[in-house]
């Protein structure tokens, strides 16, 4: 082999070697690129899934409560949370950017709006919530924020002063509310049957009793204490009958839960945050309540102490009161039908 042939052969080997190296390098680069692409696609998919998860949930919360204040807020931890904006800000983390509050004069009216779908969540007394569930309302009970709702029985001036004196008289109450349950339970315990019970909202009843058109009425909290200060006789109140105390109920529609299954957990965590803020600012809270109820901070501290607000969604004592109320409503044929509380409560 000549020198030229050897050089040509060596050059051919080098060319082939360089070609093989190029193929290997290109293959490695392609593999790496594919890996990076898959990684990017995977990360993008995860980010997209997270965004999609938030995006699929509701963006609006329609919340109902019992109240007549011009401030348009309820009391308690929920009211404070809305008033300070704590609840609204926390809900934004879950894609809920529009929170609408609606006040109702009583529980039955609020329940009707829940059933019709105009509300997503409502806070009301246990009696109307139970009655609503007994007729098939598709709600779940997620928070029992208080267990110390006191019913008062107020007589007209120069009218009945004892339960016995109510016989043959006319008493107003808000039918379907915890007022009604308190009155019905009180009359049954004392075997008083010949009393005419009529339905009136608080404002109407206060005007009627002032005119002497009714003999007695049920009332609550600061409104009852104002009447007593004005000279209306206190016939009875639920503090003498612990089994007749009312409890609160926050219920959510099953339709809303189908859109945001974690809502009970989310709600109770936010509520606790609002309660902790409330406890850190007690003077400001009682001033807030006073403005809500056209009263004084001192009186609100007496009738609605912070200690009445529960830190946990449910307590054993609260569930016991709830069970007693439900059974009474069923036994007295006030509830349409019985149901299992365990199928209703969602913890």
286 & 303 share domain: yes
Closest CA to 153 of 242, 235, 266: 235
Q: Which of 244, 263, 294 corresponds to the end of one domain?
A: 244
Do 129 and 202 contact (CB within 8 A), yes or no?
Answer: no
Instruction: Flag whether pLDDT at 27 surpasses 50.
Output: no
277 & 338 share domain: yes
Give me Rg for the CA atoms of the chain: 32
Burial label, 234 (beta-carbon count in 10 A; 0-12, 13-18, 19+): middle
176 & 143 share domain: no
**Mean pLDDT computed over 269-298:** 97
DSSP state of 345: B
**Mean pLDDT computed over 149-170:** 97
Instruction: Flag whether pLDDT at 46 surpasses 70.
Output: no
Indicate whether 132 belongs to any domain. Answer: yes
| Per-residue confidence (pLDDT) for residue 17, from 0 to 100 | 36
Indicate whether 14 belongs to any domain. Answer: no
Percent of the chain topping pLDDT 70: 84
**Mean pLDDT computed over 132-150:** 96
Closest CA to 330 of 339, 319, 318: 339
264 & 325 share domain: yes
Q: Which of 221, 244, 267 corresponds to the end of one domain?
A: 244
Average per-residue pLDDT in the chain?
A: 87
> CB-based contacts of 158: which residues, under 8 Å, 6+ apart?
none
Instruction: Flag whether pLDDT at 52 surpasses 80.
Output: no
Q: What is the CATH number of the domain that holds 203?
A: 3.40.190.10
Strand (E) positions, the chain? 60-66, 98-104, 121-125, 139-143, 151-155, 170-173, 196-199, 216-220, 234-237, 248-253
**Mean pLDDT computed over 132-136:** 96
Domain hosting 182: range is 151-244
Indicate whether 27 belongs to any domain. Answer: no
- CA-CA distance, 339 to 140, in Å (whole number)? 13
| Per-residue confidence (pLDDT) for residue 37, from 0 to 100 | 38
222 & 333 share domain: no
- CA-CA distance, 330 to 282, in Å (whole number)? 40
282 & 337 share domain: yes
Q: Which of 228, 244, 260 corresponds to the end of one domain?
A: 244
169 & 317 share domain: no
Burial label, 23 (beta-carbon count in 10 A; 0-12, 13-18, 19+): exposed
Indicate whether 312 belongs to any domain. Answer: yes
Indicate whether 51 belongs to any domain. Answer: no
Indicate whether 33 belongs to any domain. Answer: no
Task: Quote the number of domains for the chain.
Answer: 2
181 & 267 share domain: no
Indicate whether 217 belongs to any domain. Answer: yes
189 & 74 share domain: no
Rounded to two decimals, the pTM is 0.82
Ramachandran category for residue 327: left, alpha or beta (phi over 0 → left; psi -120 to 50 → alpha): alpha
Instruction: Flag whether pLDDT at 225 surpasses 50.
Output: yes
Q: What angle do CA 33, 39, 44 make, to 5 degrees?
A: 125
| Per-residue confidence (pLDDT) for residue 112, from 0 to 100 | 95
Instruction: Flag whether pLDDT at 25 surpasses 90.
Output: no
Indicate whether 15 belongs to any domain. Answer: no
Instruction: Flag whether pLDDT at 55 surpasses 70.
Output: no
Do 142 and 133 contact (CB within 8 A), yes or no?
Answer: no
| Per-residue confidence (pLDDT) for residue 12, from 0 to 100 | 37
258 & 332 share domain: yes
Using one digit for the tens of pLDDT, what is the confidence trace for 238-267?
999 999 999 999 999 999 999 999 999 999
143 & 269 share domain: yes
128 & 176 share domain: no
Using pLDDT thresholds of 50, 70 and 90, give the confidence band for residue 70: confident
């Amino acid at each position: 082999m000549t020198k030229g042939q050897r050089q040509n052969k060596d050059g051919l080997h080098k060319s082939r070697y360089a070609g093989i190296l190029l193929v290997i390098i290109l293959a490695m680069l392609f593999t790496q690129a594919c890996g990076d692409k898959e990684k990017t696609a995977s990360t993008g998919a995860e980010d997209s899934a997270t965004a999609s998860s938030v995006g699929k949930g509701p963006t609006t919360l329609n919340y109902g409560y019992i109240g007549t204040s011009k401030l348009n807020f309820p009391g308690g931890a929920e009211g404070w949370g809305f008033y300070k904006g704590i609840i609204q800000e926390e809900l934004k983390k879950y894609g809920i950017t529009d929170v609408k509050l609606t006040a109702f004069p009583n529980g039955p009216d609020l329940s009707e709006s829940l059933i019709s779908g105009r509300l997503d969540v409502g806070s009301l007394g246990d009696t109307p919530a139970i009655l609503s569930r007994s007729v098939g309302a598709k709600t779940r009970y997620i928070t029992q924020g208080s267990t110390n709702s006191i019913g008062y029985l107020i007589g007209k001036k120069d009218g009945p002063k004892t339960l016995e004196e109510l016989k043959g008289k006319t008493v107003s109450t808000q039918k379907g509310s915890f007022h009604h349950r308190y009155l019905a339970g009180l009359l049954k315990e004392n075997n008083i049957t010949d009393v005419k019970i009529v339905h009136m909202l608080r404002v109407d009843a206060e005007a009627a009793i002032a005119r002497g058109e009714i003999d007695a009425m049920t009332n609550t909290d600061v409104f009852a204490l104002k009447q007593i200060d004005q000279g209306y006789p206190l016939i009875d109140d639920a503090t003498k009958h612990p089994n007749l105390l009312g409890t609160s109920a926050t219920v959510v529609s099953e339709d809303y839960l189908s859109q945001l299954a974690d809502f009970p957990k989310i709600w109770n965590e936010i509520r606790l945050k609002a309660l902790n803020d409330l406890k850190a600012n007690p003077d400001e809270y009682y001033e807030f309540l006073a403005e809500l109820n056209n009263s004084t901070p001192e009186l609100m501290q007496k009738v609605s102490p912070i200690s009445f607000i529960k830190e946990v969604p449910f307590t054993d004592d609260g569930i016991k009161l709830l069970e007693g109320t439900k059974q009474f409503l069923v036994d007295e044929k006030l509830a349409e039908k019985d149901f299992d509380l365990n199928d209703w409560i969602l913890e």
